[in-house]
Amino acid sequence: MQEYERKQLLERVDREGATLGVDIPDRIDVQGEEVELRRFVFETKRRETIPEGERERVERAKRNLRRERLERRRRIEEGDITFEEGEREAEAVVGIDRALEALESLGKESVEAEAKRQEAADRKRWVSFLRQALGRDDDGPQVRGR
């Protein structure tokens, strides 16, 4: 591969917004194991929240995808490969990035939902405290002492 071709491929995988319009690959070899990536991402995103037992699996998958991305990028940057092989690696890197974006957004949604639940619970405790402190019973009139 010519040096300008290598730079072109590296620019493609490092570009901001490189994943726009890109599909998650159906299958990809990750850390020596074939993974049905699209199915995994869509099944994971289909759930409203990730069950506790699944969280570790999703985090492990994200770590493996990040490692695979780095290895494939390194092959483009340092490897003795043809331009065609480099194009396949670049396409895989961008697909991995797209899958990671989808999995990362799932985590953010569940964190945001948890924060909203915590905020609602805090607000409820605060209102309850204020009612007690002000001597109000439920939403009724103020209760006077004897």
pTM over 0.85, yes/no:
no
Nearest by Cα to 62 from 35, 23, 89, 90: 35
For residue 138, is pLDDT > 70? no
Nearest to 104 by CA among 145, 128, 143, 69: 69
Computed over every residue of the chain, the mean pLDDT equals 83
CA–CA distance, 52 with 92 (Å, rounded to integer): 30
Pairwise pLDDT comparison (60 vs 106), residue with the higher score? 60
Tens-digit pLDDT profile for residues 23-71:
888 898 887 888 898 898 888 888 767 777 788 888 888 999 999 999 9
Q: Which two tokens stand for residue 37?
A: 């990536």
Distances (CA, A) of 43 to 6, 48, 51, 112: 35, 11, 13, 20
